[in-house]
Chains A and B, each alone.
Chain A
Amino acid sequence: MVGLHKSEFTNPVINWIDTRLPVFTMIQKEYGEFPTPKNFNYFWNFGALAMVNLVIMIATGIFLAMNYQPNSELAFGSIQHIMRDVNYGWLLRYIHQNGASTFFIVTYIHIFRGLYYGSYKAPRELLWILGVVILIIMMATAFMGYVLPWGQMSYWGATVITNLFSAFPVVGPKIVTLLWGGFSVDNPTLNRFFSLHYLLPFLLVGVIFLHVIALHLTGSNNPLGIDVKSPQDTLPFHPYYTAKDSVGICVFLIVLSVLVFFAPNYLGDPNNFIPANPLQTPADIVPEWYFLPYYAILRSVPDKLLGVCLMFGSLLVLFVLPWLDTSKVRSVRFRPIYRVTLLVWVVAVFVLGACGAHKPEGIWVTLSRIGTLYYFAQFLVILPILGKLERPLPLPESISHPVIGGRGGGPLPTGAAAKPMEKA
């Protein structure tokens, strides 16, 4: 279609811009009127929270980069320079450091929400796949970011994780050399990790943009997991969900603030306050808490290549999840057995996290094997079979039906809930 957009905005400046580039119409459509199921619970806050968290990370990161030196001789000291001499440098750094942790907390809950209410099922498969891509980019970014302070755990964590690639036959050692930019983790490694740590978040922004476009095409899932049937089932995004998301954002900021101001190093490792020393291996090399379950999966088998494959497999399996789950019913509310198996899976992930924090000895080996087994069994065995065996509970007719029925079957509301119908 060629021609100017017919803008409905009355403000002449906005109208002039909107006629030529309808961004205001887009915002109005996607964040103003966007019809959103009216029955969201607070689990639906976490996508917005992740977005806010990403903005916080990019904003603090830009200013940290102005004072950081990506050089193996200077990196550790430049962090201390930021912490001690840069005005409010400690605030920027602690927000960035703890923001990484909250980013993973928020994202993991967001993913759990997707699993719990079946948000990955048709027609949202691609939305889910883009989400997995986001998770993987996020993990790579976090890993490289953790290397930048060039403390002992930065250095040895980087050594252990990059070395994993050497397990792959033929190309493995070449990949490792390429990652390192040499024959050990050293200054070139730090340089390229810094460059990539700055690049990947913007790639992340791009993929998140696609994730949101996909979301706005299919529309949101909801706690009942049934499709929107009529305009009565939805509310305009603004002001209903802008108001609800704002509550979540405030609570999120409280959590982040408590970490930043009162326990900034609680989630960190004391070893990273010691400058990197290639000649001295720390007693126990542990990744950041958000990688512990994967680390446990990696170490659960005695074979390096198999461990590496399992670790990457634990992420890759998520890509095909929409096709592994054979049930047509989305929400756990109507899948009593799936609910149990999913919650056991969550327990398994926590157990794997605990295993990852411990040396692979004694009981921890057994636990990590059981955890790993269940992690994969849930996706590869239970989900495909369960969809065929499980008898789901009867689904409600529509989103507004059970809601109103549940409250005594009163008459349809005439107020705000009816408004979107006029707009739609």
Chain B
Amino acid sequence: MTIDLDDPKLTAYALGELADESESASVEAFVSQSDDARRLVEEIRETASLLRKELGAEPSIELTGIHRERIDRSLEKRARAGRFVSWIAAAAVVLLGVSIVWWWKLSLMPEISAPAPRVSSYAPPPSAPAEARPLAAPQSGPAQETISAPVGIEGGVPGGVIGGMVGGVPEGIDPASVQRLQSSSYIAGRPSAPRSPAPAFAYEPRDTGYLDVQRARTPFHTEAYDRIDDNPFLDVGQNPLSTFSIDVDTASYANVRRFIAQSMLPPKDAVRIEEMVNYFDYDYPAPPEGQPFSVNVEIADAPWKPEHRLMRIGLKGTPLSLDDRPRLNLVFLLDVSGSMEPPDKLPLLKQAMRLLVDELTENDQVAIVVYAGASGMVLPRTSGDQKGVILDALDRLQAGGSTNGGSGIQLAYDHAVAHFIPGGTNRVVLATDGDFNVGVTSQGELTRLIEERAESGVFLSVLGFGMGNYKDSTLEKLADRGNGNYAYIDSLSEARKVLVEEMGSTLVTIAKDVKIQIEFNPAEVESYRLIGYENRVLRAEDFNDDEKDAGEIGAGHTVTALYEIVPKGAPSGTPSVDPLKYQRPLAPAEEASTGELLTVKLRYKEPDGETSKLLERSVRDDGTRYASATQDFKFAAAVASFGMILRDSPHKGNATLDSVLELAREGVGADRHGYRAELLELARRAKSLRER
């Protein structure tokens, strides 16, 4: 065989592509004899490795969430029975909820944006989810009140509708289609609009045809978004008081996370900074005896604008003493058959269980048994403080999987009995869509088993999922026999009520109608801005009005609010107003010269109280530099900067995604559950999305 230096075989040889042995041998012989050939082979390999390196470093292009979703929809179609890929669909449902919230708040908008909002009764239009339950006031009973009573701006509406709608998607609406509609309209962008009252934004179809079809099928005004305008800087002379209701919602963070996970940046108005900040727990000290929550104030430089000060107000509810609720021994028996895949079933169940896991302590124990075609234990008894382990097990649950054989319900009961906690709550919690086969052949055998086990003190709770309002008599009967209860879970708020509030009263509201009012000292402060809480702002006089609803705080919960403060002497950033002709500004009181920066006042009611109590403390700025701020402070500042960037807030100053990453890294701290690390990941992904 003759080979010259321009033979493609030489390249194939250099790249290891010569399959034929005799050919390979002859090329090798040629190379070993010729220096030129050897040099050439080396050069080819060098060029190849350079290409590998450079081509490998090319920026990666991915599909958008819309494309992925279409693929998933096709998979779903193939699976025939309308099963749906859980995470995308779950996101879609949440988005649907959010769109309804937007729509809903839009209807409230005139009140929100009017300078002096007033309480008025609000009747939702016919297409509104009239029976939606609020989630915003999640911890306790008054959930229903918030909606059925006249709804004011602070009435806890937003999360509520989300909660009410998860899983409660009206018939005929395909959650995915709503998501697609929204995604596309986000891309289409949003025209700017006058400020007050905030208008509906005309949706401009981009993708034509099929969007219109979707629109026609959708009874909600999904194309209308509520606009959030960042709170402006307010001049202390004209607005010495800043009043708002606390907000314990975190929905916006989850929503932002879903967008980014789908390689999309969230639309501006989906980003509510206070909900992002409050998604995270901060390490505030527990309150003193006799006070339901502690009030913590920290002030340092605003990282995005060093000449401004950033104030963090943190509340922490009294953690319940452990004697206050029974210890929990819970064995979950979960149906993970394929039929549980739709978003209102297993995904909702998982969300609900996360809520519960949050409340567990080292005194509690949880186990998870699953069944599909067969059954098995996916999480043996685990102490309630091993949240990471429990959450991991939850994350791994997937509809359609099956585990090794055995009788699920017997396994669950055996486990519960084996780890019985005397004096505690010992329960098997069966979650299913009703189409269940738990390894016991006949109905009679099953009821007998449950009755028998009830005597041992292990009770049964049955949670029904995704069956419409039809109450499955079998499930109900089982629960009756098992000294248990039966609940139908159609929404996250219902799940929270059942799994968290009723299950051993794990979550207890310790104060309700919590309002915060700050009085700024004009001698020290030029102007200020409340970061986030745009739709929670109250009038000054609402603070002392006990008729005005506000947010609740639960045992052990933390609530955080941030203010950006322009110290006296710095440019105030507020538009100037001509001096008044008929009045002179009031002279400062004597207290203004105390050097106090401001006074924080809090009003709250005891959970069963009607009259509010007042907490008050004055705050000085000791000039802490940013570098010496606590990790929690830095992390909260990072989250707020991230939110401002995503919202493209006019107040974001010199914040960039890089500075967010840097701040968050400094503030990440112990991060026991990895929540903070997740924020870092989100910021990183947002950065690569931006750079695309």
Is chain B a partner of chain A in the same complex?
Answer: no
Interface residues of A (CB under 8 A from B): none
Interface residues of B (CB under 8 A from A): none
